[in-house]
Amino acid sequence: MKNHVKALVVGGGAVGTSIAYHLARAGWDTMLLERDELTSGSTWHAAGLLPYFNMSFATTHIHDYSIRFYKTLEAETGLNPGFSVVGNLRMAQSQARMDEYRLYASTAETCGVPYEWLTPAQMKERWPLMRTEDLVGAIFHPTDGYINPADVTQAMAKGARQFGATIERKWQVDGYQWTGSEWRVTLTKMAEKGGNLVPTEEQTVVTAEHVVTATGNHAQRTARLLGLKIPAIPVEHQYIVTEPDPALVEWRKAGNPEHPVLRDADAKWYVREERGGWILGPYERNAPARFAYGCPDSFRADLFPLDLDRIEEEYMSMIHRLPSSETVGLKDDYNGPICYTPDGNPLLGPAPGLRNMWLAEGFSFGITAAGGSGYYLAQLMTEGEAEIDMGALDPRRYGSWMTTDYAVAKNEEAYEHVYILHHPDEERPAARPLRTAPCYDRMKALGAQFGQVNGWERPNYFAPEGFDDHAARSFRRGGWWEYTLAEAKAIRETAGLIDATAFAKHVVRGPGATAFLDWFTCNKLPKVGRVNLTYALTCAGTVRTEYTIVRQAEDVYYLVSAGGWHAYDEDFLLKAVEDKAAEFGPVIVEDVTTRHGVFALAGPNARAILAGLIRDADPATALSNKRFPWLSARQIELGMVPVNALRVAYTGELGWELHHPIEMQNHLFDRLMEADAAHGLKPVGARAQNWLRQEKSYRAFGTELGRDATPLEAGLDRFVDLSKEFHGKAAMEATGIRSKCVTLLIDGPEDADPWGREALYDGEARVGRLTSGGYSVAFGKSIGMGYVRPELAVPGTRLSVRMFDALWTAEVVGDSPHDPSNARIRADG
Ligand SMILES: Cc1cc2nc3c(=O)[nH]c(=O)nc-3n(C[C@H](O)[C@H](O)[C@H](O)COP(=O)(O)OP(=O)(O)OC[C@H]3O[C@@H](n4cnc5c(N)ncnc54)[C@H](O)[C@@H]3O)c2cc1C
């Protein structure tokens, strides 16, 4: 065995093997270690389905790569991975389900994934064994199907070897130690003993510049060895295999093609053919999480006992859909651990706090995702960035607040939700409320309907007592729409108060702080007392983090970034500080997120509301443009509360962000709300804020802003100081403008607005995609933001957007269509 490699991959399931293949293909000296045999984890009992369907842009790219890649493996390796391209039929029992598919189809189109629509009659004609009269339609993917998980893994392993990788079986990783320049990895030789896999006395050490862990159900052990929290905990997943179904056998004997993979999402199952019978895979309620504190070392390719009672409902509904299956007996059953994460996405990317340590854990569709995950992770590792934004999969999306109980509750929920209607306005209930601002109860009493962001409860909108948020969800305008409309109007006409406590907040200070931040971010640093919007870039010159940055003293900066990305941003910042310590001198980073609450007060009456509360020698001028200009920050006193007030407004109205000691939040809240009657102050939720910021073309992190666009492509030129050197500058300039961020006003359907996932067309040609969507109160029509080819990013260009399978006119407008001169934000008084 080699004792030093560039990359060591731990875990020989589908995922680890694909990563080893792609690292070796990229030219890295790679070794794969497996404690048992390849595919002896979850991979061996997977049903092998390769569904394209999912609602995420990044994941669709990953699945798309896998499906295309697996089709090439036989030619490359001589091993047939057993890919049956039978297609995938996703049925709908309701119009709401069809709406879900239409929204999904928009995402599929933005990634170039082919699909067709089928009516019940067309389905019956093609697959007469199916009952279709109670269906309203289906979406059909002709190019996916299922694969043999063991064969595809072996083919990737052979491919990896062909590119020079070595694969060592029966070696278990038992320890990791970072020396400052490489990982010292301790391995134990495993041996078969009486049918068990046991450690031997033989140990060795391998050093590696980079380590990737892809340890499947053993993720908790890996977490312990690395001193990390990893919310990858398996849930039981079963499927059953029936005896041959005579009707099916007959149908195939007559020369008919194999059935596509069938998915009756409303009945919560998938079905495919297996040697003349059927495989039924349900996603039932109450499937329990397993191995929350670690998978026993003795657990190999083991299974749990079948729990038929739990899947009775799904079984009966299969019989309803395929009546000939009623008389067919059960031949086989599988109940295995399937790893989940709280949001159902894998954890793929850098490990928090560690150098050159990469996680590839928590895969619930690991056969489908393995190919693309290997490809994009290898890009990230070998080139510094991947061609898609991997943020949504980044392991650092869960902060240190995450616990085992949380992961168990959310993972069980994620499993159960695989086939629920994926409303874009969905909020899932498990493990809530957990992280609450002090004003939570007050907001709730005012009718707040909360969403969860990074564990925090944040009002989405406010509704009357008894309102049912769950029933109000829709793929079109949900029951919440009218309340959001009223809140958006309040900000434009009177005033609104938004709880923005979830913001991530860091203080960066010390003798090296100014030089460091000047290098780390692309805009000029603000003068003392001023506020700037600025960006930290990736090494590829794309947007890594958006900061509102306040210079509190010569070498003291207060950085505010997206609440949903706290740990993700913090890890990037801390590693950059450490890397640059020798060059710039000492820099101290302090996380003050949970120390300060934040209220955003905005609207024409915002100044009058604060004027009633501010304590100042000259209250009449304290909030004037002269003493408190736009984009400045002041320490003020509102009643008895010391407030770090920032004159900024993400909604595009006169406003202040009031950063206050969190323990005084309720006092401040009560004082502000007392202004209600006189000034029309309304509590406002995140949905109205999202609409309003689009009228001002304010880009949001995670939608317009991410690792797939440079700030110049995002149209943020005015926040980029090209006269200075900063991290990512050369790459940003070299990238040029591949596409450009625009704002569009849309004449859409009467009952719907875009969600920000839809494809944009110029005539017949697909020319871009929306990244945000909503309704504009200022223009009385739908609004959206997105990316189009640069030559189309010209105000007045008429494009169309696909919504609900029809094309609707979308006109590119100049940035900030509402109040382009910022007169309202700058209003004096
Ligand atoms: C019943 C069932 C049906 C499924 N059907 C599908 C499907 O149709 N389509 C789909 O896409 N997915 C399906 N899945 C999910 C799929 O099986 C997993 O997502 C996938 O196998 C995960 O692959 P992996 O490589 O991450 O993990 P694993 O296959 O579990 O591999 C991890 C490997 O790491 C090794 N390992 C762990 N710790 C160490 C260590 N310290 N040192 C060395 N080696 C170590 C283990 O021995 C194991 O071989 C199904 C799962 C189940 C349970």
Task: Confirm or reject: Cβ of 488 under 6 Å from ligand 1.
Answer: no
Q: State the pLDDT at residue 56.
A: 85
Q: Three-class SS of residue 766?
A: strand
Distances in Å between the alpha carbon of 713 and those of 129, 405, 720? 52, 42, 12
Candidate of 170, 174, 215 to mutate for ligand 1, largest count of ligand atoms within 8 Å of Cβ? 215
Q: State the pLDDT at residue 53.
A: 83
- Spacing, Cα 162 to ligand 1 middle (Å): 23
Among protein residues, the one whose CA lies closest to atom 33 of ligand 1: 11
Q: State the pLDDT at residue 28.
A: 98
Task: Confirm or reject: Cβ of 48 under 6 Å from ligand 1.
Answer: yes
User: What six digits make up the tokens of 645?
Assistant: 């007030």
Q: What is the DSSP string of 431-466?
A: T-S-B--TTHHHHHHTTEEEEEETTEEEEEEE--TT
Task: Confirm or reject: Cβ of 463 under 6 Å from ligand 1.
Answer: no
d(CA 419, CA 414): 10
What Rg do the C-alpha atoms of the chain give, in angstroms? 28
Among protein residues, the one whose CA lies closest to atom 27 of ligand 1: 216
Q: State the pLDDT at residue 301.
A: 83
Task: Confirm or reject: Cβ of 46 under 6 Å from ligand 1.
Answer: yes
pLDDT higher than threshold 80 for residue 420: yes
Burial class (CB in 10 A: 0-12, 13-18, 19+), 764: exposed
Task: Confirm or reject: Cβ of 173 under 6 Å from ligand 1.
Answer: yes
- Spacing, Cα 469 to ligand 1 middle (Å): 37
Q: What is the DSSP string of 301-335?
A: S--PPP-TGGGHHHHHHHHHHSGGGGGPPEEEEEE
Q: How many residues does the chain have?
A: 829
Q: State the pLDDT at residue 764.
A: 92
pTM of the model: 0.97
Q: What is the DSSP string of 188-219?
A: EEEEEETTEEEEEEEEEEEEEEEEEE--GGGH
| Distance, C-alpha 600 to centroid of its chain | 25
Among 419-423, 536-540, 732-736, the least confident range: 419-423
**What is the separation, in whole angstroms, between the first and last Cα of the chain?**
75
Backbone angles phi, psi at 486, to 5 degrees: -65, -40
- Spacing, Cα 26 to ligand 1 middle (Å): 24
pLDDT higher than threshold 90 for residue 57: no
d(CA 229, CA 342): 13
Q: Residues 69-91: pLDDT tens digits?
A: 999 999 999 999 999 999 999 99
Candidate of 37, 42, 204, 279 to mutate for ligand 1, largest count of ligand atoms within 8 Å of Cβ? 42
d(CA 711, CA 727): 13
d(CA 232, CA 362): 5
d(CA 161, CA 32): 10
Task: Confirm or reject: Cβ of 311 under 6 Å from ligand 1.
Answer: no
Compute how many other C-beta atoms are within 10 angstroms of the C-beta atom of residue 679.
Answer: 18
Q: State the pLDDT at residue 283.
A: 96
Task: Confirm or reject: Cβ of 41 under 6 Å from ligand 1.
Answer: yes
Q: State the pLDDT at residue 466.
A: 95
Q: Looking at the CA of residue 366, tell me the nearest atom of ligand 1.
A: 19
Q: Residues 103-123: pLDDT tens digits?
A: 999 888 888 889 999 999 999
Does the bond joining 464 to the residue before it have cis omega, within 30 degrees of 0? no
Helix (H) or strand (E) holding 299: none
Planar angle of CA 498, 504, 508, nearest 5 degrees? 130
Candidate of 32, 237, 262, 367 to mutate for ligand 1, largest count of ligand atoms within 8 Å of Cβ? 367
Task: Confirm or reject: Cβ of 37 under 6 Å from ligand 1.
Answer: no
pLDDT higher than threshold 90 for residue 64: yes
Q: Which residues contact 70 (CB under 8 A, 6 or more apart)?
A: 50, 81, 83, 147, 152, 371
d(CA 350, CA 348): 7
pLDDT higher than threshold 90 for residue 670: yes
Q: Residues 265-299: pLDDT tens digits?
A: 999 999 999 999 999 999 999 999 999 999 998 88
Q: Which residues contact 800 (CB under 8 A, 6 or more apart)?
A: 760, 761, 762, 807, 808, 809, 810
Q: Residues 296-307: pLDDT tens digits?
A: 988 888 899 999
Q: State the pLDDT at residue 591.
A: 98
Among protein residues, the one whose CA lies closest to atom 31 of ligand 1: 13
Give the torsion sign (CA, 629, 633, 635, 637).
positive
- Contact predicate 451/427, CB 8 Å: yes
Task: Confirm or reject: Cβ of 336 under 6 Å from ligand 1.
Answer: yes
d(CA 421, CA 598): 34
State the chain's mean pLDDT as an integer.
Answer: 97
Planar angle of CA 388, 390, 391, nearest 5 degrees? 130
